[in-house]
Amino acid sequence: DWTSESFAEQTIAELKVELGNDRVVMALSGGVDSSVAATLVHHAIGKNLFCIFVDNGLLRKDEYEQVLHSYEDMGLNIKGVDAKDLFYSELAGLTDPEAKRKAIGKAFIDIFDQEAHLIEDVKWLGQGTIYPDVIESVSVKGPSATIKSHHNVGGLPDFMKLKVVEPLKTLFKDEVRAVGRTLGISENILGRHPFPGPGLAIRILGDVTAEKVHILQQVDAIFINGLKKWDLYKEVWQAGVMLLPVQSVGVMGDERTYENVVALRAVTSVDGMTADWAHLPYDFLAEVSNDIINRVKGVNRVVYDISSKPPATIEWE
């Protein structure tokens, strides 16, 4: 019978044999999968695992600092790389969602490659691939497979001739979480909602600028902290906010305003393949809406997305 304890124990033992004294490089995202995968490898080979955490400037408010500290507390050999400017300059002027994803993927690979080359004699690339990622990448799914170019799998530049180690390849998400708990990883990392690799860039409709990221980070933090405060965070599968390329008229005191609209999105789901919009309490939505409009300069209207997937996707881009 499968238990997280025996999986962890056996996997660590196998990794020790497979990796020996080799060096492994791994990019961490702050998400559940890469964190659990890295922890397993860390238990097997310790400081021979070199972890890299990139600040792409598209993370949630304060996320980079918080996640980096958690990784340090876990004893991982982790290097934080501030690459915000590169990502913003690669994204400048791009409005097409796929073009934005490609630019982000490329910037990420450039940074990762640069960092990996600094590690002498590295032989392996560690990845947090889980079973559904494997299925999604190989199956022929028709148009849905090409709607978005998820770059989590196979994003390895050819010239990096690294062997790949993927300790979670056979697991589903809930099993990954169970293994993470067995390994003592904090609930703060294990319990988080999924967050897309391209981050806030695909929640800023149209072109991405540092200013827009700053606005969206503030709005998103109010929404997410509100969900936690109201004990709703765990009730929803994923939540976030879209910054729309739409201005609307409002009034603030005696002044007429003409500012941005944001759309809140929260869904219930099992695996993200289908999703229902979360029926959040009106009182909660009212409080969050007031907080956003009163506290975030540049936003004067909040709407709630009541579309299910399919046909709508969870993200708007």
Binding residues: 29-35
Applying CB under 6 A, does 106 fall inside the site for ligand XMP?
A: no
C-beta of residue 151 within 8 angstroms of C-beta of residue 133: no
Residue 108, both tokens: 């990420």
Residue-by-residue DSSP string for 44-105: HHGGGEEEEEEE-S-SPTTHHHHHHHHHHHTT--EEEEE-HHHHHHHHTT--SHHHHHHHHH
Yes or no: say if 123 and 26 are a contact pair by the CB < 8 Å rule.
Answer: no
- In whole angstroms, give the CA distance from residue 185 to residue 39: 8
Q: Does 102 bind ligand XMP (CB under 6 A)?
A: no
129 touching ligand XMP, by CB under 6 A: no
Q: Which of 30, 126, 197, 226 binds ligand XMP (CB under 6 A)?
A: 197
Q: Give whichever of 18 and 136 is closer to ligand XMP, judged by the CB atom.
A: 136
Calpha distance 287→304 (Å, rounded): 13
Q: Which of 178, 189, 299, 314 binds ligand XMP (CB under 6 A)?
A: 314
Judged by CB under 6 A, which stretch of 71-79, 161-169, 177-185, 192-200 contacts ligand XMP? 192-200
Interface pick for ligand XMP out of 23, 102, 106, 148 (rule CB under 6 A): 148
The torsion angles phi and psi of 77, rounded to 5 degrees, stand at: -80, 90
- Identify the residue among 34, 35, 127, 152 touching ligand XMP (CB under 6 A): 152
Please tell me whether residue 74 binds ligand XMP under the rule CB under 6 A.
no
**How far apart (Å, rounded) are the C-alpha atoms in residues 236 and 223?**
12
Binding residues with ligand XMP: total (CB under 6 A): 14
Task: Note the residues at the interface with ligand XMP (CB under 6 A).
Answer: 101, 148, 150, 152, 194, 196-198, 238, 272, 309, 313-315
